[in-house]
Amino acid sequence: MTEDQIRETVIGALRRIAPEVDPDALDPDQDLREQADLDSMDCFNLMIAVGQELKVEIPESDAPQLNTLNGAVGYLAGRTEAV
């Protein structure tokens, strides 16, 4: 799976959780939670949605790596290769 596909998956999941957010307006290196006003439940749902779609189990200790869009894509790219 390419990084672009992973990015699309993350953005698709984000759109379902925060439909009012314009993904193009997000700074991929800034904290996603602040930019998209995500609370812990939103982050939890985002992680589950992405994890299930990409068939990746994300340990809780790795969750902070998903705090930015680029961080999430990089982390998930490594995890999907490993599978």
Partner 1 sequence: MLAEAIIRCVSARSETCGHLPRHRRRPTAVSDFRMPSLGADMAHGTVLEWRVVPGDQVERGQVVAVVDTEKAAIEVEIFESGVIEELLVEPGSRVPVGTVLARVRAEGAAPAPADDAREPTEVEEEAVGDAAPAEVRPEAPEEKEEKEEKEEKEEKEEKEEKEEIAAERAPAEPGAPPGPPPFRLRASPAARALATERGIDLAGLHGSGPDGAIVRADVEAATAPAGAPASPRDAATERHAAPSRPLIVTPVAGRAAAALGVDLSGVQGTGPDGAITREDVELAAGISHPPLPPSVPSAPEPAPGEGRSGGSDRQRAMREAIAAAVSRSKREIPHYYLSTRIDMARALAWLEAENRERSMAERILPAALLLRATALALGDYPELNGFWEGDGFRPGEAVHLGVVVFLREGGIVAPAILDAGGMEVGTLMRALTDLVQRARSGGLRGSELTSATITVTNLGERGVESVFGVIYPPQVAIVGFGRITEEPWAEGGMVGARPVLTATLAADHRVSDGHRGGLFLSAIDRILQTPEAL
Q: Is 19 in the site for partner 1 (CB under 8 A)?
A: yes
- State the angle between helix axes of 40-54 and 3-17 in degrees (0 to 180), rounded to the nearest 10: 140
Q: Is 55 in the site for partner 1 (CB under 8 A)?
A: no
Task: Tell me, letter by letter, the H, E, C secondary structure of 53-82.
Answer: HHCCCCCHHHHHHHCEHHHHHHHHHHHHHH
Q: Is 59 in the site for partner 1 (CB under 8 A)?
A: yes
- Residue from 2, 29, 41, 81 that binds partner 1 (CB under 8 A)? 41
Residues lying near partner 1 in the complex (CB under 8 A): 15-20, 37, 39-41, 44-45, 47-48, 51-52, 57-60
